[in-house]
């Protein structure tokens, strides 16, 4: 019987525990923080996630889909707010397709509860990993409350301890371990819109709200309690930035100019702005993800990405899905499994990292650009007519099983075609004409 | 009086000590290893360096140039060895221009000796940095021989502790510290050619010998004792690699096929190959290089590069030169100095990292390509005629004061022009004709 020690009881660690427990393996889950299910550990940081196809697929495989649907709110489109409060819309996919807003904390709790129903799962909280002895397969923890230290042996160690992974940090000292942490020039700050007195949402809850302002943006995602979690993605430095907007008059004038329609929804926006922390955003890349046949990284520990495609958790859950799939394939040659797993996932992790960086520009800038919205409308229309010939990039990433690597490549190819299409004169008045359809078909057949 | 604590007594740390000591500052130099001047710490790793203009300039500024010239051997050209033992040549620069082979150990010893002549310099060996307390300005060391621990306060801390810098490692946990370590797919192994019995060199010592074999290469640099240090740069994996060449018959056949002319010079090449370690090669990038006004990184700690341009030490010594220069400029606003230093050097560090990666391809592959050698011959010829209009990239990097950043950009521009020139029919027979000269002049004026 195989013994798996999982370091990190966040979303991926919890789901991975369920996958392994269902196969009958012994699972020892160690989590730095107190037990989420009983402690309130909200840290003033972004707690909304968008569940899409890849995460649903993994949740479905362990039988958790329906439970999670209860705490998720479908968002069918983007709603863009301009500086006058006018709205425009962009559907995410085909009729009925949505991404689902869910609270990180609630999702995490639910997955831990499911994992805990298996007898072969042992959970240990307040256990912060301080070191891994790779050669002797021992891992050390400290309880940050009691300062008690302990050391455990492991057979197989899975590092799901997030973007600042302690397990990965240990691997970093291995020869030929490639690693990077790359911060972007924007940080973020969370704001909160309370529900109406009757518990209803103050804006349409079935959409992702965006205030695109070219170099920065505000977004809002709905919560099931009627509130919205808003996130301001903002440059650290520059003319309009965390550095330049600091005092009450600066904050008021900033909101009046850029987000006037949100002011009535957040009466205490000055206090929130002043008191909520600014957090940084980075991409984490590394390789290899394994050490011999004894240690492997998954989720953010292997591939932490910026949040703009809403794919961080989806990519991590897809790791769990693929891991489970490959377990069968490698059942009789388990010594090669961790290496093969990392090798198979790495190109997709690199692709989703790139997609996430690009989507920031799309969200904060392009969603306010009529030409961009027209292009997306044409792509959506052509996709409906020729689903065998074209799938918009967003749909490939969010609603399909295509690999991230394929989606990125195919997306670039389609974008080059659309660059030609967008040159058609008077396009706005004939975007859904036979001429445009023929042009795209011709370009597709010519390349 | 300012107090500088320098962590790392390698080449850059030793030279930086001299610079600061000459200004009358108190210098506390801490080095992990035993005192180089009395201990033999050869580790079977590449110990040859090529001193060129940037390093000479820095050495000259502290008055150490003549001392170092005594232990350096000029190399005026590349000598390429083909698989039949035929030689071809490529001059490094203009008549009389050379890069200088020097032993890392000897250079380091000499610089430590010079630093030690200053009363205001205190040296501490066997002091491995284990932690830096950035807020309280305290640094901890351990003596790896006695296991004795100590903690020191510092006023200003300079991290010159190399590519695996402990100081940088501490900075890595600061928010928004961007960092990467990127290993290449080749490693290296050192081999040694003994002198003749009369102490003379077995090959021409005034050249850098290259055995370019497309995907890999062997090089040899002369030592003052009549020996050569050879380095095999070799893929870790693949058809012809460290992985595939392991046994005595494999090694013999490998040398017979690829390096037949070196066999007589290294009678024990099989033993050397089997017993010398394989080492890895990586690029290290980070930013920012400072913490507040109290800590700054220099040399490999800030920008470790692969060795193929022979610029690692030159870039580090240029750090010292620029640091000294900027000290005057920032004398009255020292609190901004470390930040300004890093900001000014970072683009050059990125450029030299890129140049070093590219030069591996040039050395191992292109130096065996007649078209490439012809291009370089044309560039050298045009440079002689129009030194105000053209400086070959290698000369900009190695023999000029142009910044690395400028050299890289200008080099790309010149290379685009040469791509046009190389299309002239029958070029080999008229490479130094008026037609070619006019063509280059035309392209230069047209862009």
pLDDT tens column, B337-380? 999 999 999 999 999 999 999 999 888 988 889 999 999 999 99
**Are A69 and A110 a contacting pair, CB within 8 Å?**
no
CB-closest option in B178, B280, B282 to A181:
B178
Distance from CA of A212 to the nearest CA of B (A): 24
Neighbour order of strands in the sheet with A73-75? A48-51, A99-103, A73-75
Ranges of H-type helices in B259-369: 269-275, 300-303, 312-329, 337-364
Amino acid A110: pLDDT: 95
Helix axes A370-385, A434-446, angle to 10 degrees: 80
Q: Mutate which of B174, B181, B306 to test chain A, going by most A C-beta atoms within 10 A?
A: B181
Q: Confidence band (pLDDT; 50, 70, 90) for A1?
A: confident
Neighbour order of strands in the sheet with B121-124? B121-124, B26-30, B3-7, B156-159, B295-297, B290-291
Q: Do A178 and B182 touch (CB under 8 A)?
A: yes
**Are B46 and B188 a contacting pair, CB within 8 Å?**
yes
Amino acid A42: pLDDT: 55
Amino acid B260: pLDDT: 97
How high is the mean pLDDT of chain B?
95
Read off the pLDDT of residues A291-327 as tens digits, 9 standing for 90 and up.
Answer: 999 999 999 999 999 999 999 999 999 999 999 999 9
Q: Confidence band (pLDDT; 50, 70, 90) for B13?
A: very high
Amino acid A37: pLDDT: 87
Measured CA to CA, the distance from residue A360 to residue A307 in angstroms comes to 8
B-side interface with A, Cβ within 8 Å? 172, 175-183, 236, 280, 282
Percent of chain B with pLDDT over 90: 94
Does the A3-75+100-181+282-359 domain belong in CATH 3.40.50.2300? no
Q: Confidence band (pLDDT; 50, 70, 90) for B446?
A: confident
Distance from CA of B156 to the nearest CA of A (A): 26
Give helix then strand counts, H and E, for chain B: 14, 19
**Are A68 and A59 a contacting pair, CB within 8 Å?**
yes
CA of A182: which chain B residue's CA is closest?
B178
Helix axes B11-22, B312-329, angle to 10 degrees: 20
> How is residue A429 annotated by DSSP?
G
Burial (CB count within 10 angstroms: exposed 0-12, middle 13-18, buried 19+), residue B316: buried
pLDDT at B44 over 60: no
Percent of chain A with pLDDT over 90: 94
Amino acid A446: pLDDT: 87
pLDDT at A200 over 80: yes
Read off the pLDDT of residues A154-181 as tens digits, 9 standing for 90 and up.
Answer: 999 999 999 999 999 999 999 999 999 9
Q: Confidence band (pLDDT; 50, 70, 90) for A46?
A: low
- What is the pLDDT averaged over residues A40-48? 60
Amino acid A39: pLDDT: 74
> How is residue B163 annotated by DSSP?
T
CA of B282: which chain A residue's CA is closest?
A176
User: Could you give the 3-state DSSP secondary structure of residue B127?
Assistant: coil
pLDDT at A128 over 90: yes
Residue with tokens 């370019």: B212
Neighbour order of strands in the sheet with A138-142? A128-133, A138-142, A149-153
pLDDT at A56 over 90: yes
Q: Do A183 and B181 touch (CB under 8 A)?
A: no
How high is the mean pLDDT of chain A?
96
Which pair of tokens denotes residue A313? 């958790």
Distance from CA of B104 to the nearest CA of A (A): 23
| Residues of chain B positioned with their CB less than 8 A from the CB of A176 | 183, 236, 280, 282
- What is the pLDDT averaged over residues B33-61? 83
Q: Mutate which of B131, B183, B278 to test chain A, going by most A C-beta atoms within 10 A?
A: B183
C-alpha to C-alpha distances, A280 to A184, B177, B427, nearest whole angstrom:
8, 10, 56
């Amino acid at each position: 019987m195989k013994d798996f020690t999982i370091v990190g009881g966040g979303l991926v660690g919890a789901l991975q525990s369920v996958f392994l427990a269902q196969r009958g393996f012994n699972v020892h889950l160690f989590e730095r923080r107190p037990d989420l299910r009983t402690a309130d550990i909200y840290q003033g940081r972004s707690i909304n996630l968008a569940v899409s196809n890849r995460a649903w697929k993994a949740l479905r495989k362990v039988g958790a889909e329906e439970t999670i649907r209860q705490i998720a709110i479908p968002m069918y489109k983007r709603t863009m707010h301009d500086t006058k409060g006018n709205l425009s819309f962009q559907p995410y996919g085909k009729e009925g397709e949505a991404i689902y807003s869910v609270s990180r904390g609630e999702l995490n709790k639910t997955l831990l509860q499911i994992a805990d129903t298996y007898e072969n799962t042992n959970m240990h909280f307040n256990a912060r990993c301080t070191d891994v002895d790779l050669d002797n397969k021992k891992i050390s923890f400290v309880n940050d409350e009691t300062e008690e230290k302990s050391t455990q042996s492991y057979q197989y160690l899975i590092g799901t301890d997030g973007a600042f992974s302690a397990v990965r940090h240990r691997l970093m000292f291995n020869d030929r371990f490639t690693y990077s942490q790359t911060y972007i020039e924007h940080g973020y700050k969370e704001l909160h819109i309370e529900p109406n007195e009757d518990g209803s949402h103050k804006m349409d809850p079935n959409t992702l709200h965006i205030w695109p302002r070219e170099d920065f943006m505000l977004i809002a995602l709905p919560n099931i309690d009627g509130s919205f979690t808003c996130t301001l993605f903002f440059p650290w430095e520059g003319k309009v930035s965390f550095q330049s907007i600091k005092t009450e008059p600066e904050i008021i004038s900033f909101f009046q100019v850029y987000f006037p329609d949100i002011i009535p929804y957040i009466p205490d926006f000055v206090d929130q702005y002043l008191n909520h922390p600014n957090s940084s955003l980075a991409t984490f890349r590394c390789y290899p993800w394994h050490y011999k046949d004894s240690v492997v990284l998954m989720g953010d520990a292997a591939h932490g990405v910026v949040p703009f495609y809403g794919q961080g958790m989806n990519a991590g859950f897809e790791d769990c899905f693929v891991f489970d799939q490959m377990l069968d394939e490698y059942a009789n040659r388990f010594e090669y499994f961790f290496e093969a797993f990392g090798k198979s996932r790495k190109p997709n992790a690199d692709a989703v990292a790139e997609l996430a960086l690009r989507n920031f520009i799309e969200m904060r800038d392009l969603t306010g650009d009529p030409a961009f919205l027209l292009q997306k409308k044409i792509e959506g229309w052509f996709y409906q007519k020729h689903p065998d010939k074209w799938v918009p990039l967003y749909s490939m990433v969010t609603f399909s099983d295509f690999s991230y690597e394929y989606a990125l490549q195919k997306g670039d190819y389609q974008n080059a075609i659309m660059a030609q299409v967008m040159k058609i004169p008077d396009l706005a008045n004939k975007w859904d004409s036979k001429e445009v359809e023929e042009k795209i078909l011709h370009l597709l057949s010519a390349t």
